[in-house]
Amino acid sequence: MIQMKNVYKKYPNGIVALNGLNVEIDQGEFVYVVGPSGAGKSTFIKMMYREERPTSGQMFVDGIDLATLKNKKVPMLRRQMGVVFQDFKLLPRLNVYENVAFALEVIEESPSRIRERVLDVLDMVGLKHKARMFPTELSGGEAQRVSIARSIVNKPKVVIADEPTGNLDPETAWDIMNLFEKINATGTTILMATHNKEIVNTIRHRVIAIEGGLIVRDVDGGDYGYES
Amino acid sequence: MKARTLWRHFRESLKSLGRNGWMTFASVSAVTVTLLLVGVFVLIMMNLNKVADDLENDVEMKVFVSLETDEARKQSIEETIVDIPEVESAVYSTKEEELADLVLDFGNELDLFQQNNPLFDVFYVKASNPQQTGNVAAEIAEIENIEKVEYGKGKIEKLFNFLNAGRNVGLVLILALLFTAMFLISNTIRITIVARRREIEIMKLVGATNWFVRVPFILEGMWLGLLGSIIPIGLVAALYYNTLEFIQPKLSGELFQLLDFTPFIYQVGGLILLMGVFIGVWGSFMSIRKFLRV
């Protein structure tokens, strides 16, 4: 699903974020990405959806070569994946239904199909009854569930989540994790950057630790490994 | 792009105009003022051009044939003149015809010249390009048996210089005005784009193409340009109508005329509309460019 070979990333200001990183992630895996701030975790995540481009090295996501992918083709890549952020990134002037439908409108899906899919995923995240509410009327957990619904509405093979529980209280964070588990159970690959020690140590999955732009630890069912 | 998507962009762009009410008002006013000025300039320029053309086409040389020339020689002079490449036409007029013209203009007191006509036989010569008149005159003056060539020397050159300068100045002013309007629209759109930065970012994250993001803003720019061109078109038409009402009667019998109201005003109106749309579209196109690099 995801292959990186000797990926090296240097920013224009001279900072080396990734220093020859190698990794392979299979379809259907659930992977935590951990590590101290500023270790290259964010860059690693951003590279998945081509927000950042490798300076050198090879990188494939779902067979697409990201090192040579033209800017014009980036939208096609992003339609194959879902992205979830710490700050939800919902549009405040659209209601819950519209926020989710937005992802399908953008790719010019037919209205009847949009309706069907949006109601499906809202049901799955348990927010069908709040479809007409606006993001400002939702709790943090609900907002994050909407953003997860949006990320999976076009049935991506992989969901990239950057600290999805970072802004949530512990109890809500568990709800969100259950949701990711559910999505993973349908065969979707999940790549999740997190600082949440408790979650990583309880719901065991493969853990990749990044430090100094390199993977320093890669253990199936490993623990968080840092003091929180 | 599907029709449904286009329709969606359409609605989005109109909604955005309403949401950004004051900014919309500000840029529409800016476009209005600019296009009004441009419109007035175009009126003046096009008429200046027309007057210049009329005057130019009226420029002719009067070629005096010396008295002792015989008929055969006159014939060959005419051929020589017509053979000059820059000459459009040469009309021969005998001294008797010349006198008859004078009598017509100044009355019968001149009749006494009938006995002893002091006038010359002349050719009325027009250059195919009026700006060449001076050169052609010099060339004709070289021909044997030509007494002199008259063509309002000096005055004509000054007129041409003045008209050319007028055209250039007008063109520069119009371009400067258009540039200013484009800059204003581009700034307005930039503000609405900054306000919707997050939306653009999210659109791109869920896989929207650049065109999908761009089209609503470009349409919005188009509306700004269209709205901004309505008042100028009306005012320019009214202004020109009244000017013609006032000036046209005074110009009857003059060598030059202003352009007729129609179809001229349709052309100017269309031009203003096109310029409005162009600066709107181009302005928003320019300002959205850097926001698409997500």
What φ, ψ does residue B106 adopt, rounded to 5°?
Answer: -110, -5
List, as ranges, residues 53-92 from A with C-beta within 8 Å of B: 72, 74-79, 83, 89, 91
Model confidence, pTM: 0.72
pLDDT given at position A184: 96
- Range in A55-69, B97-111, B212-226, B275-289 the model is least confident about: B97-111
Q: Are residues B136 and B12 in the same domain?
A: no
Q: Are strands B61-65 and B121-127 parallel, antiparallel or unpaired?
A: antiparallel
Tell whether the model's pLDDT for residue B130 goes beyond 80.
no
Q: Are residues B182 and B273 in the same domain?
A: yes
Residues from chain B contacting residue A72 (CB–CB below 8 Å): 209-210
Of B102, B120, B150, which residue sits at a domain end?
B150
Q: What is the pLDDT of residues A78-123, one digit of tens each?
A: 998 999 999 999 988 899 999 999 999 888 889 999 999 999 999 9
Q: Are residues B48 and B164 in the same domain?
A: yes
Q: Are residues B164 and B140 in the same domain?
A: no
Of B127, B150, B173, which residue sits at a domain end?
B150
DSSP B192: H
- Range in A118-132, A203-217, B22-36, B245-259 the model is least confident about: B245-259
Cis omega before residue B263 (within 30°)? yes
Question: Contact at 8 Å (CB) between A1 and A25?
Answer: yes
Other C-beta atoms within 10 Å of B275: how many?
A: 25
Kindly indicate the confidence band of residue A59, based on its pLDDT and cuts at 50, 70 and 90: very high
Burial of A67 by CB count in 10 Å (0-12 exposed, 13-18 middle, 19+ buried)? middle
Other C-beta atoms within 10 Å of B110: how many?
A: 14
Burial of A175 by CB count in 10 Å (0-12 exposed, 13-18 middle, 19+ buried)? middle
B202 and chain A: CB distance < 8 Å anywhere?
yes
CA distances from A91 to A51, A131, A146, B62, B74 (A): 20, 14, 11, 80, 90
Quick one: which of A109, A112, A96, A195 has its CA closest to A148?
A: A96
pLDDT given at position B67: 81
Q: Are residues B86 and B167 in the same domain?
A: no
Q: Are residues B193 and B50 in the same domain?
A: yes
State which residue of chain B sits closest to A73, comparing Cα positions. Answer: B209
pLDDT given at position B261: 82
Q: Are residues B238 and B225 in the same domain?
A: yes
The verdict on a CB contact (< 8 Å) between B198 and A49 is: no
Q: How confident is the prediction for chain A on average, in pLDDT?
A: 92
DSSP assignments along A41-100, one per residue: HHHHHHHHTTSS--SEEEEEETTEETTT--GGGHHHHHTTEEEEETT----TTS-HHHHH
Number of separate domains in chain B:
2
Q: Which tokens go with B188? A: 């307005």
Q: Are residues B241 and B178 in the same domain?
A: yes
- B100 lies in which domain range? 60-150
Query: What percent of chain B clears pLDDT 70, i.e. is strictly above it?
Result: 97
The larger pLDDT score, comparing residue A146 to residue B38, is at A146
Q: Are residues B146 and B241 in the same domain?
A: no
Which domains are seen in chain A, by residue range? 1-71+182-228 (3.40.50.300)
- Range in A47-61, A200-214, B37-51, B214-228 the model is least confident about: B37-51
The verdict on a CB contact (< 8 Å) between B206 and A108 is: no
pLDDT given at position A162: 93
Question: Strand pairing partners for A81?
Answer: A158
Q: How confident is the prediction for chain B on average, in pLDDT?
A: 83
Q: Are residues B26 and B166 in the same domain?
A: yes
The verdict on a CB contact (< 8 Å) between B198 and A107 is: no
pLDDT given at position A228: 61
The larger pLDDT score, comparing residue B289 to residue B229, is at B229
Q: Are residues B45 and B121 in the same domain?
A: no
pLDDT given at position B269: 93
Of B110, B128, B150, which residue sits at a domain end?
B150
Q: Are residues B179 and B257 in the same domain?
A: yes
Residues from chain A contacting residue B204 (CB–CB below 8 Å): 74-75, 78
Spell B170-179 as b/e; 16+ CB within 10 A means b: beeebeebbe
Kindly indicate the confidence band of residue B56, based on its pLDDT and cuts at 50, 70 and 90: confident
CATH code of the domain in which B69 resides? 3.30.70.3040
pLDDT given at position B110: 67
Facing residue for A108 by CB, picked from B2, B201, B205:
B2
Distance from C-alpha of A144 to C-alpha of A172, rounded to nearest angstrom:
10
Tell whether the model's pLDDT for residue B294 goes beyond 60.
no
